[in-house]
Amino acid sequence: MNILGIESSCDETAAALVTEERIILSNVTLSQDAEHTPYGGVVPEIAARAHIEHMDEVVRRALVEAGLSWSDIDAVAATTGPGLIGGVIVGAMTGKALASVLGKPFIAVNHLEGHALTVRLTHKVDFPYLLLLASGGHCQVLAVEGVGKYQLLGATLDDAMGEAFDKTAKLLGLGFPGGPKVEALAVRGNSLRFAFPEPLKGREGCDFSFSGLKTAVRLAALESSKDGVIAAQDAADICASFQHTVGLVVKDRMRHALQVYSKQFSAKTLVVAGGVAANRHLRDCLWELAGEYGFSLVAPPLPLCTDNAAMIAWVGVERLRLGLADSLDAEPRARWPLA
Ligand code: KG4
Ligand code: ZN
């Protein structure tokens, strides 16, 4: 089975072909960073227009790179939410049109399920597992019990983890998306220079919060700035201290999550997914914590942490196997919680 996956819920226009045997035949991602950089964040209207302009070409490239023709496609899976609705509509309509013309099943994919199941495409991971899903729009802790079967153990009370990275980067004038820029600059910084607060530290449950940390970072940036300019070393120290603190927060909150999850499940797998899972320091923190509790940590390879269409095609495989195809009436949704 060859499944075409389509993704357009934020600022990447993406298409991929994935087989039932877990082979990624092609995985094309066109980033819109250049379009959004002048605004310091994703502009929904610009994103939707860029998806319309590039989607056809991206799908065609995915097909060519896979060495397939239209008739080799067995099903079409497209993200139908959650996300920026204009972009979601573009991908969903493209997917439905192709499924209809090819006479093949259509699978309406929840973008978050794409992140949640990526490790089952790249590794042999069985259900259940404990998942930290950390992206630009979401920060959730879930027990993943099966396809479509999620138990929400905790979530952020304010900003998403990726959003905290993006806001830190914006504050320091590093550009967009912020996560990779903060990570790169942190390498040259002193992570112990600023003692930032760790929101919710020691608190019961597995919720997250980043607003207090964000304010502390803003104050540090203000104090360091001279005539509106922050010296390179100060910026690096802020990035390093911020990333270090996020690591402490992740360890504290996920320690609780491991305990809560272990009361219900005996399978010892911890998974991290979503764009922030690309951060090496956070992966190291989770690896250390997992080891402490006898868990193994599984994380997707870096290019499959951030938004891509291979993960959407893979959800198509998983759902189709269970007979979970959707009708062409499946509605695009801006909001669509996993649990
Ligand atoms: O999963 P994703 O591509 O899109 C959403 O579904 O939101 O995640 C994007 C987020 C952005 O906030 C970006 O800054 C963050 O993931 N990110 C990172 C890194 N790479 C991407 N955050 C920290 N370190 C990174 N290396
Ligand atoms: Zn995402």
Q: For residues 70 and 108, state if they share a domain.
A: yes
* 159: in domain: yes
125 CB-contact burial (10 Å; exposed 0-12 / middle 13-18 / buried 19+): middle
What percentage of the chain's residues is helix, strand, coil (to nearest 5)? 45, 20, 35
Cβ–Cβ under 8 Å, residues 78 and 95: yes
- Residue 158 forms part of a structural domain: yes
Shared-domain flag, residues 68 and 176: no
Question: Burial of 186 by CB count in 10 Å (0-12 exposed, 13-18 middle, 19+ buried)?
Answer: buried
What local confidence, expressed as pLDDT, does residue 20 receive?
A: 98
Query: Do the domain assignments include residue 230?
Result: yes
Query: Does any domain span residue 327?
Result: no
328 domain-assigned: no
Are residues 26 and 90 part of one domain? yes
Confidence at residue 72, expressed as pLDDT on a 0 to 100 scale: 98
User: For position 176, which CATH number holds?
Assistant: 3.30.420.40
Verify whether ligand 1 is closer than 6 Å to residue 11 (CB atom): no
Q: Is 109 in the pocket of ligand 1 (CB under 6 A)?
A: no
List the helix and strand counts (H, then E) for the chain.
10, 10
At 162, phi and psi to the nearest 5? Answer: -65, -35
* DSSP structure string for 242-271: HHHHHHHHHHHHHHHHHHHHHTT----EEE
Say yes or no: 164 and 285 in one domain.
yes
Q: Are residues 30 and 136 in the same domain?
A: no
What is the reported pLDDT for 176?
85
Instruction: Tell me whether residue 312 is in a domain.
Output: yes
Q: Is 274 in the pocket of ligand 1 (CB under 6 A)?
A: yes
- In terms of Cβ atoms closer than 10 Å to its own Cβ (0-12, 13-18, 19+), residue 41 is middle
pLDDT in the model for residue 47:
96
Q: Is the CB of 140 under 6 A from ligand 1?
A: no
- The residue whose CA is least distant from atom 10 of ligand 1 is 136
Structural domain includes residue 329 = no
What's the CA-to-centroid distance between 82 and ligand 2, angstroms?
9
- pLDDT score, position 82: 98
pLDDT 10s digits, 81-135: 999 999 999 999 999 999 999 999 999 999 999 999 999 999 999 999 999 999 9
Q: What atom of ligand 1 comes closest to residue 177's alpha carbon?
A: 14
Q: Are 179 and 275 in contact (CB under 8 A)?
A: yes
Distance between Cα 9 and ligand 2 center (Å): 8
295 found inside a domain: yes
Residues 295 and 162 in one domain: yes
- Considering the entire predicted model, what is its pTM? 0.97
- Retrieve residue 136's tokens: 């630009």
Residues 105 and 175 placed together within one structural domain of the fold? no
Q: Where are the alpha helices (DSSP H) in the chain?
A: 33-36, 44-66, 85-102, 111-122, 161-171, 178-186, 211-224, 232-262, 280-292, 310-321
Largest CA distance in the chain: 63
Q: 189 and 86, same structural domain?
A: no
Do residues 147 and 247 both lie within one domain? yes
What token pair was written down for 163? 């959003």
Do 205 and 88 reside in the same domain of the chain? no
Neighbours of 292 (CB within 10 A): 11
Q: Which residue ranges of the chain lie beneath pLDDT 70?
A: none
Give residue 102's domain range. Answer: 2-117+304-321
For residues 150 and 292, membership in a common domain is answered with yes
**Number of domains within the chain:** 2
Same domain flag for 201 and 67:
no
Which atom number of ligand 1 is nearest to the Cα of residue 115?
Answer: 1
2-7 vs 12-19, strand pairing mode:
antiparallel
